[in-house]
Chains A and B, each alone.
Chain A
Amino acid sequence: MKKILISSIILFASVIANAQITKAELTATGLTCSMCSKATYKQLTSIPEVEKVETDLNKTAFILYFKNGSTVNPGNLKKKVDDAGFSVGELVVVFNFNNQKAENNSSFIQDNITYTFMDTKTGVLAGEVKVQILDKGFVVEKEYKKLSKLVKQYPSYATINNNLYHIKTL
């Protein structure tokens, strides 16, 4: 019942936004070798929405550029890294916002995905803004444990769902 209540609150509180994801910066963990990195690179380039991937081999980081007008789900990016045999240590996505209000526990919907602000600075977001995905599997384990302690403040953080992400502006 609590879950339904929470999700309906989120649903009513969310506004359908026009905030496209244009770019993502992904750091993979669990690897050092170039063969492992290439495996991850090949997985990421196989995503249809991805136009180009740039790599920083020393930091095992990947910058993904998305095709104009494409629908991006952060969960799909994570799945590709998992498939390569590794994990996501950090995922920062670049949203192109159109005067989006940012405030803790407020949400917006983009491409049927709900993004809820968490541990963020209050403000109005316009233009390209970097936000970090905070959900389980998108941050290193230590960070996730730290964030889990905030669950009382952000009850929806306990739900792990491919259509609900928690974000923080950087």
Chain B
Amino acid sequence: MKKLFFIIAAFFSLGVKGQELFVFTEPASNMPAKSLGVRDMNAFMFEKDGKLNYHNMPELMWGINKKWMVHVQGFISNRQEGGLEAEGGSLYAKYRFLSKDAIQSHFRMAAYGRYSLNRADIHQQEIETMGHNTGYETGLIATQLLHKVAISSSISYERALDNKPAYKFPETESNSAVNYTLSVGKLMLPKVYKDYKQTNMNLMLELLGQRLNDNGKSYLDIAPSVQFIINSQARIDIGYRQELYSTMKRTAPNGIVLKFEYTFFNVFK
């Protein structure tokens, strides 16, 4: 724990510029209204027996107006026998209900919900509606951008349902959980902005935790990442997720995440 504090302290002392387009969590801010975002997330997770789990999650994001945005996402993985397979999808909506803007700073709060379908087998105690469980998640996010350092935190309730048609959620396991996250981000480059073509580099550090409601089992992960924003429009994220501790059964908690994103501005009138 001391080590963790040291890492976070070192991270903060590196500089003063920050960003909030986090790799493992969503900020309370929305994407611009009338714009369309395309994202592809690739996760390479190491199973404890040495097998590599590959998850591909293509995503479409739409900024409806300044308060609402929605995502549609598909889940593809190689976890099942017979190679890559489409296992499910999800619908995500976020509503920004508080926005306090000042010069180069803001505080925002948002509420969000996700509903996911998945037909893969249920293989762990961890509940994850992004790519593993059928179910829903609903939560609150608060994001502060202050003197160019971004800090974001979220808390959510997640409920797992049966992975229909073949896999019932085991009655002996906890089917609900509380998730909590803390993310910090910082803009490292450029030092001085000249134009939109400059590549931005952000460093991020995120803590991701879950506690199962019925048995009190929990985990906490740390996820550092580096992000490049090209031409102020395209995003490349490289992240690594590492379990700090866990008292629950998880199949493949550690691994590398590669994300690509592109924003099409003003697509809708």
Chain A residues with CB under 8 Å of chain B are 27, 29-35, 37-43, 46, 55, 57-58, 60, 82-87, 89, 140-141
Contacts and interface: CB of A to CB of B under 8 A. Distances in A.
A38 B233 contact: yes
A83 B34 contact: yes
Chain B: interface size category? 35 or more
Contacts of B19: 32-33
Which secondary structure characterizes the binding site on chain A?
A: mixed
A50 to B, nearest CB: 13
A58 B193 contact: yes
B192 A58 contact: yes
Contacts of A31: 104, 106, 145
Nearest to B195: A57
Nearest to B20: A33
Given A29-B102, A32-B148, A34-B193, A43 B266 contact: yes
Nearest to B264: A42
A37 B266 contact: no
A35 B193 contact: no
Contacts, number: 100
Q: Which of B105, B145, B266 has the most CB of A within 10 A?
A: B266
B124 interface: no
Q: Which of A33, A37, A38, A87 has the most CB of B within 10 A?
A: A33
B194 interface: yes
B227 to A, nearest CB: 10
Contacts of A29: 101-106
Q: Which of A34, A43, A58, A83 has the most CB of B within 10 A?
A: A34
B25 interface: no
B29 interface: yes
A35 B21 contact: yes
Contacts of A42: 32, 35, 265-266
A39 B35 contact: yes
Interface in B192-237: 192-196, 198, 200, 229, 232-233, 235
A57 B103 contact: no
Nearest to B65: A83
A46 B101 contact: no
Instruction: Identify the 5 closest CB pairs spanning chains A and B, nearest first.
Output: A30-B101, A57-B193, A38-B232, A42-B265, A87-B101
Interface in B16-57: 17-19, 21, 29-35
A85 to B, nearest CB: 6
Nearest to B147: A32
Contacts of B200: 33-35
Nearest to B234: A35
Q: Which of B17, B66, B195 has the most CB of A within 10 A?
A: B66
Contacts of A85: 29-33, 63, 66
Contacts of B195: 57
A25 to B, nearest CB: 15
A41 B231 CA distance: 13
Interface string B170-200: 0000000000000000010000111110101
B44 to A, nearest CB: 26
B80 interface: no
A27 B19 CA distance: 20
B78 interface: no
Contacts of A34: 193, 196, 198, 200, 229, 232
Given A34-B193, A57-B195, A82-B66, A141 B33 contact: no
A147 to B, nearest CB: 17
A35 B106 contact: no
Contact of B101 (A33, A43, A57, A86): A86
Given A32-B104, A35-B235, A84-B66, 16 more contacts: A29-B104, A31-B145, A33-B229, A34-B232, A38-B196, A38-B232, A39-B32, A40-B32, A41-B196, A42-B32, A43-B33, A43-B265, A57-B194, A89-B103, A140-B103, A141-B100
